[in-house]
């Protein structure tokens, strides 16, 4: 059965346009001398070669194609450097050319549209944020002035470990949880002014619920989201990651808003005698400065806080980024062992979604 003339004409025009676009893409990419790499598949590119641990997959590919290779992630060409010389080339010699990061869903949905230092494009806003970190949090004088906080939190952690190990005649203790919370408490007191997550009354949420949120945060910021590399499929959310990102954002935002409201109230009470004590105070003060080259919005303050507090868990980042490399040291009656541990399920603990 023959198609009506209008339909056959439309199909012919569509095929012609597709052929022209493919030819232009091929001609534009062929004029660049790309490094060697595996032949990409249509639509997915080389995503079929990337396993659950992308860095290991790329390392295996580099042993075959060399320290500089080209891949294709969905719709985007990617050049991968896998040696010290290539790292120096990208990160030092031509650092300004490769400084920006691609816009991804996790930055858009979790980190307030990339308002933090990690995902913000290079420019006045990024330089301002970097200067804030260097001068307010990572300077030698700041580190020295907060030495007592680290000493107090380490002692508190040791007491908690000892108490936990003495329960029930020598219980099993997950040192990973105690170390991560001690690190977070140090950063919380330095950046936020006090501890907000702890056992007992007054905590914004139970520590285990907060650990779940941080685990989910690292996981969703480390996954390969299909919509990021194949944009025209993003609306389908094939892996369900966008839904999880939005859910996590709704859980994190009330906590950050509580911190900002508390600091704003103290600032209002002190009036002209207000003196910044921590990073949040300094950020709120900067946000009111009309002479800033790049204004800091409220969402930007939240993004700065979220990145800084989550970075306190980076010594254990491998725990959250990998489901196969999670090794937790345990203490039981004075003896240690390192069995493989499972990542907790991705559903939030009960009571986590409550308002603050």
Q: What is the CATH number of the domain that holds 148?
A: 1.10.630.10
Tell me the percentage of the chain whose pLDDT exceeds 90: 30
Angle of helix 175-191 relative to helix 279-287, nearest 10 degrees, comes to: 40
- Note the pLDDT of residue 11: 60
The reply to whether 277 falls in a domain is yes
The reply to whether 328 falls in a domain is yes
Does residue 65 sit in the same domain as residue 128? no
Does residue 92 sit in the same domain as residue 200? no
Taking a C-beta distance cutoff of 8 angstroms, is the pair 312, 279 a contact?
no
Of residues 60 and 286, more confidently modeled = 60
Does residue 57 sit in the same domain as residue 190? no
Does residue 154 sit in the same domain as residue 89? no
Angle at 288 between CA 287 and CA 293, to 5 degrees: 65
DSSP secondary structure string for all residues of 5-44: HHHHHHHHHHHHHHHHHHHHHHHHHHTS-PPP-PPPBTTT
- Note the pLDDT of residue 341: 30
Taking a C-beta distance cutoff of 8 angstroms, is the pair 314, 215 a contact?
no
Q: Which residue has the tokens 């990409």?
A: 40
Report the domain count for the chain.
2
Does residue 62 sit in the same domain as residue 193? no
Q: What is the pLDDT of residues 254-274, one digit of tens each?
A: 999 999 999 999 999 988 888
- Note the pLDDT of residue 15: 58
- On the question of pLDDT at 209 being above 50, the answer is yes
Helical spans, DSSP H, in 37-146: 54-65, 84-88, 105-109, 124-132, 140-145
Q: How many CB atoms lie within 10 A of CB 238?
A: 13
Of residues 310 and 43, more confidently modeled = 43
- Relative to beta strand 173-174, strand 76-81 is unpaired
The reply to whether 2 falls in a domain is no
Of residues 57 and 344, more confidently modeled = 57
Does residue 181 sit in the same domain as residue 271? yes
What are the two backbone dihedrals, phi and then psi, of residue 329, each rounded to the nearest 5 degrees?
A: -80, 135
Does residue 169 sit in the same domain as residue 270? yes
Taking a C-beta distance cutoff of 8 angstroms, is the pair 198, 172 a contact?
no
Taking a C-beta distance cutoff of 8 angstroms, is the pair 190, 149 a contact?
yes
Per the structure, the complete domain to which residue 49 belongs is given by: 33-98
Q: What is the pLDDT of residues 154-205, one digit of tens each?
A: 999 999 888 888 876 677 888 888 888 888 888 888 888 888 888 878 888 8
Does residue 58 sit in the same domain as residue 203? no
Does residue 243 sit in the same domain as residue 145? yes
C-alpha 196/C-alpha 299 separation (Å) is 20
C-alpha 173/C-alpha 160 separation (Å) is 10
Residues in contact with 342: Cβ distance below 8 Å, sequence separation at least 6, in sequence order = 326
Angle at 190 between CA 186 and CA 192, to 5 degrees: 105
Q: How many CB atoms lie within 10 A of CB 180?
A: 23
Q: What is the pLDDT of residues 25-42, one digit of tens each?
A: 554 455 678 899 999 998
The reply to whether 260 falls in a domain is yes
Taking a C-beta distance cutoff of 8 angstroms, is the pair 172, 315 a contact?
no
Give this prediction's pTM: 0.74
Residues in contact with 264: Cβ distance below 8 Å, sequence separation at least 6, in sequence order = 284
């Amino acid at each position: 059965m023959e198609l009506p003339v209008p339909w056959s004409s439309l199909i012919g025009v569509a095929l012609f346009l597709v052929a022209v676009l493919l030819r232009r893409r091929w001609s534009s990419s062929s004029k660049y001398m790309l490094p060697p790499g595996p032949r990409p598949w249509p639509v997915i590119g080389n995503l079929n070669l990337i396993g659950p641990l992308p860095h290991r997959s790329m390392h295996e590919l580099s042993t075959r194609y060399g320290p500089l290779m080209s891949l294709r992630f969905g719709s985007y060409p990617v050049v991968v450097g896998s040696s010290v010389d290539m790292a120096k080339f990208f990160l030092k010699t031509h650092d300004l050319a490769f400084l920006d990061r691609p816009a991804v869903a996790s930055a858009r949905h979790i980190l307030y549209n990339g308002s933090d230092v990690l995902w913000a494009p290079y420019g006045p806003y990024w330089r301002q944020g970097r200067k804030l970190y260097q001068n307010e949090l990572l300077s030698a004088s700041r580190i020295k002035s907060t030495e007592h906080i680290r000493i107090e939190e380490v002692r508190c952690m040791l007491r908690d470990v000892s108490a936990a190990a003495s329960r029930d005649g020598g219980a099993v203790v997950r040192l990973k949880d105690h170390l991560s919370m001690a690190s977070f408490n140090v950063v919380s007191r330095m950046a936020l002014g006090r501890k907000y997550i702890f056992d007992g009354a007054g905590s914004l949420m139970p520590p285990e619920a907060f650990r779940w949120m941080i685990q989910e945060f690292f996981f969703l910021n480390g996954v390969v989201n299909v919509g990021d590399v194949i944009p025209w499929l993003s609306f389908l959310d094939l892996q369900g990651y966008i839904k999880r990102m939005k859910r996590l954002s709704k859980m994190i935002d009330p906590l950050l808003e509580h911190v900002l409201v508390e600091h704003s109230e103290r600032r209002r009470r002190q009036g002209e005698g207000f003196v910044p004590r921590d990073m949040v105070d300094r950020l709120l003060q900067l946000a009111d400065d009309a002479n800033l080259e790049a204004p800091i919005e409220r969402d930007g303050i939240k993004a700065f806080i979220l990145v800084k507090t989550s970075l306190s868990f980076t010594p254990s980042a491998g725990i959250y980024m990998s489901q196969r490399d999670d090794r937790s040291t345990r203490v039981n009656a004075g003896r240690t062992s390192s069995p493989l541990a499972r990542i907790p399920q991705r559903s939030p603990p009960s009571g986590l979604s409550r308002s603050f």
